[in-house]
Structure 1
Amino acid sequence: MRALTWHATKDVRVLDVPDPRILEPTDAVIRVTAAAICGSDLHLYDVLSPFLHRGDILGHEAMGVVEAVGSGVRRIAVGDRVVVPFVIACGHCYMCARGLTAQCETTQGRDRGTGAELYGYTELYGSVPGGQAELLRVRLADANAQVVGHDLPDERYLYLSDILPTAWQGFRFANVPPGGSLAVLGLGPVGQLVARVASHHDVHVHAVDPVVERRLMAERHGATAYDLDDDVAESIRDATAGRGPDAVVDAVGLEAHGNPGTAFAQSAVGILPDGVAKQLMTKAGVDRLAALHLAIDLVRRGGTVSVSGVYAGAVDPMPLLAMFDKQLTMRLGQCNVHQWLPELLPLAESPGDPLGLEDLATHRVPLDQAPEMYEKFRDKQDGCIKVVLKP
């Protein structure tokens, strides 16, 4: 089959690789009909490269049609159309029973000190082959392949693999009352969907991003959008009775604009020998924290900061005095995709597409164009906000 494979920092290639096959009775194999490039895939392209191996298959947002199932699979069958959560969970352990599928104790990386395994996301999360490929082996398929209908376009379902549940969780963690206010920092795919979910819940959205195409998309779905400039915090406070919004969602993460010194350090670590780089990142790694610090400064006293963006630093400095003085609540973490699917599937299938799922992808391209799209997405060229790959 053809698959997107990692080879070095900023070097990904679509190559012929062996087809996946059934290895465990609980496995399934799907033919991928749509995959997507996620903003967190860009961390693999740059910052997290020491934790990848040459030939690793990337991608954690995928859906398709079941081609084969193991002897132990009961809930899905050949021919079913399915979407695959990026988190690999068993569905029945202590953590899964509590809705914390991203902490599944069956696939948890105890030797690595990490949560549940993920598709296509470094040795930290199991080095599991990902879905930017023609075929995907789905582990624990009964718990990890969500059957969907055959009548609606792929994009109504594809985002259920990651970015829509991630946005939903980010909004739920923010705990904004109806009629309240929410600031969303970063209008990549997750930030766009956070803004739409909030508007769907009658929350006024103040959305911040330096890229004009992203602001225009957010405004099309009801947000008030702001450029990222020195006055953005004051502008949003002025619009929220001088207090700041009830909550802020940081949908940016570790590669925020600003922090040039940290950006240089991240780039330098990426070119060191893997053994040295891993030690530095796991013991002394730092993130670019401009977005998170802005969120803490911007939110009203007694408010909530909800973090959907990925962070990976081990010694990040945090303004604890401000957080304590303002009586802030902070919620963050990997998305528990499975917990949210029962709420989200009917919404994805709802007539009228209330979250505008068919108005998110800006680029739909064959799988072979994935390498150039990684670069275009990273550099925010050509109005690129969301890339859907068609194997």
Structure 2
Amino acid sequence: MKAICWEGVSEVAVEEVPDPQMYNKQDMIVKVKLSSVCGSDLHQLNGFIPTMRAGDVIGHEFLGEVVETGSEVRRHNVGDRVVVCSVIACGRCWFCEQGLFSDCDNSNTNPGIPEMMWGQSPAGIFGYSHAMGGFRGSHAEYTRIPFADYTAFTVPDGVDDATAVFASDSAPTGWMGADLGEVKQGDVVAVWGAGAVGQMAAQSAMLKGAARVIVMDRFDYRLDMAAHHLGVETLNYEETDIDAELRERSDGRGPDVCIEAVGLESHTPNPVAYRWEQVKQQTRVLEQDRPHSLRQAIISCRKGGMVYVLGVFVGMIDKFPMGALMNKGLTMRSAQQHGERYIPMLLERMARGEFKTAHLMTHPMPLSEGPRGYDLFKNKKDGCVRAVFHPDGDGRVTRE
């Protein structure tokens, strides 16, 4: 079958790879209908995710049709249209029983690697390096789904493909930021990053009753999309003093909840500081992750507020403002997404027209155009927010 493979830093290619095989009775095989790029894929593309190997199939946000099920799969049948959570969870370990699905004890088949890096192993993730299990990703014609009864979810008939595909990752990740960030009625919420996850976090905060939601980015086309489709306030951080503006919009206190949706390659407006942090990051010793957005969120958050980190980080960061975090009495939380907790609810909201996602898919295209899709997405060309691949070849998708 054809698949998009990581071949090295800044290099992806469409290649022929073996068809997936089922390894146990809880597996199933899905024919992929849509598979979206994700901001965290760029960390792989740029060489900042360790334990990638040439030929690895990438991609982790997808929707498909069931074509084969193991004998112990109970919730799915051949022909079902399913959205698959990017994070793989067994559904039965202690962590899954607590709703901490991205901390699953059983789904990462290479636990020794993250144990060496982070002390303990999180769950496996589709197409996201051998540290996360070495699972083949979704940018392919077919994909194996481990623990299928817990990792995949049937899509309601009233939800089109263009909407449902983002229930795999962007929507539940964004919702988790608002939910575990404890957004409540009347809050002022600031979101760093107007990509898909940032927009979904902003929408989730609005649905949870926030009085004001302010989204920040440096690309006007992304800010315009967030304002037009979601009705949120926006700020271009290259054109204004973010801390002063956020205080002005929150009665001088600062936002109640600050959500970081950028991650380890955060851009610093000061060009000298940006280049210096890039140099430090490239050494992999002075600094592994660039945390400008996280630092800014901690500084801007009101006293006693909440900082929630949705952006992906993998290593050490420099100049972390621990003094501000402690002396301001802030709470900081983070996780890979616990999608199994949120996806059924989000699909129901999508079916009722309460949760918007289809606008994120700006560039549908055939799987064969994978390198072009990643070029558009990485280099912010042609207003690309998400390139979404259609393995059948014509790039067409169903929309309402």
Instruction: Give the aligned partner of residue 228 of structure 1.
Output: 237
- Partner letter of residue 298 of structure 1? S
- Distance across 2 between alignment mates of 1:390 and 1:120: 17
User: How many residues are paired up?
Assistant: 376
Alpha carbons 1:88, 1:116 under 8 Å: kept: yes
**Residue 257 of structure 2, aligned match among 235, 247, 252:** 247
- Partner letter of residue 111 of structure 1? G
- CA offsets, 1:273-310, max 9 Å, x none? xxxxxxx5xxx642111100110111111111011001
Q: How far off its partner does 1:368 sit?
A: 1.2
**Residues 256/248 of structure 1: CA separation in 2 closer, same or farther (3 Å cut):** same
Instruction: Give the aligned partner of residue 300 of structure 2.
Output: 298
**Correspondence 1:124 to 2:126:** no
**Residue 170 of structure 1, aligned match among 177, 198, 205:** 177
Alpha carbons 2:137, 2:143 under 8 Å: kept: yes
**Correspondence 1:10 to 2:25:** no
Instruction: Give the aligned partner of residue 264 of structure 1.
Output: 279
Moved more, 40-49 or 95-104: 40-49
Instruction: Give the aligned partner of residue 272 of structure 1.
Output: none
Instruction: Give the aligned partner of residue 112 of structure 2.
Output: 111
Alpha carbons 2:290, 2:317 under 8 Å: kept: no
- Distance across 2 between alignment mates of 1:129 and 1:285: 29
Instruction: Give the aligned partner of residue 334 of structure 2.
Output: 332
**Residues 49/197 of structure 1: CA separation in 2 closer, same or farther (3 Å cut):** closer
2:125 is paired with a residue whose SS is coil
Instruction: Give the aligned partner of residue 224 of structure 2.
Output: 216
Q: How far off its partner does 1:348 sit?
A: 1.7
Alpha carbons 2:158, 2:351 under 8 Å: kept: no
- Distance across 2 between alignment mates of 1:316 and 1:78: 50
- Distance across 1 between alignment mates of 2:344 and 2:366: 31
Q: How far off its partner does 1:264 sit?
A: 2.6
Alpha carbons 1:199, 1:222 under 8 Å: kept: no
- Distance across 2 between alignment mates of 1:10 and 1:297: 33
> What TM-score, normalized to structure 2?
0.91
Alpha carbons 1:285, 1:312 under 8 Å: kept: no
2:246 is paired with a residue whose SS is helix
- CA offsets, 1:157-207, max 9 Å, x none? 111111111000001122122121100111011001111111222311011
Residue correspondence of structure 1 range 9-28 to structure 2 within 5 A: 9-28=9-28
- Distance across 2 between alignment mates of 1:160 and 1:325: 38
Computed over aligned residues only, the root mean square deviation of the Cα atoms, in angstroms, reads: 1.5
- Distance across 1 between alignment mates of 2:132 and 2:111: 10
1:14 is paired with a residue whose SS is strand
2:358 is paired with a residue whose SS is coil
Residue correspondence of structure 1 range 26-105 to structure 2 within 5 A: 26-48=26-48, 50-105=50-105
- Partner letter of residue 277 of structure 2? T
- Distance across 1 between alignment mates of 2:224 and 2:361: 14
- Distance across 1 between alignment mates of 2:122 and 2:371: 29
**Residue 156 of structure 1, aligned match among 135, 156, 163:** 163
1:249 is paired with a residue whose SS is strand
Alpha carbons 1:29, 1:136 under 8 Å: kept: yes
Alpha carbons 1:46, 1:267 under 8 Å: kept: no
**Residue 141 of structure 2, aligned match among 134, 137, 141:** 134
- Partner letter of residue 213 of structure 2? V
- Partner letter of residue 26 of structure 2? T
1:23 is paired with a residue whose SS is coil
Unaligned runs of 5+ in 1: 270-279
**Correspondence 1:192 to 2:199:** yes
1:40 is paired with a residue whose SS is helix
- Distance across 2 between alignment mates of 1:97 and 1:56: 31
Alpha carbons 1:262, 1:286 under 8 Å: kept: no
**Residue 314 of structure 1, aligned match among 312, 316, 323:** 316
- Partner letter of residue 112 of structure 2? D
Moved more, 334-343 or 128-137: 334-343
Moved more, 53-62 or 68-77: 68-77
Instruction: Give the aligned partner of residue 146 of structure 1.
Output: 153
**Residues 50/93 of structure 1: CA separation in 2 closer, same or farther (3 Å cut):** closer
**Residues 78/360 of structure 1: CA separation in 2 closer, same or farther (3 Å cut):** same
Identity %: 36
2:198 is paired with a residue whose SS is helix
Alpha carbons 1:182, 1:247 under 8 Å: kept: yes
> What TM-score, normalized to structure 1?
0.93
- Distance across 2 between alignment mates of 1:196 and 1:315: 29
- Distance across 2 between alignment mates of 1:313 and 1:160: 28
2:112 is paired with a residue whose SS is coil
Unaligned runs of 5+ in 2: 116-120, 269-273, 392-400
- Distance across 1 between alignment mates of 2:23 and 2:215: 45
Moved more, 102-111 or 371-380: 102-111
Where do 4+ consecutive residues of structure 1 move more than 4 Å? none
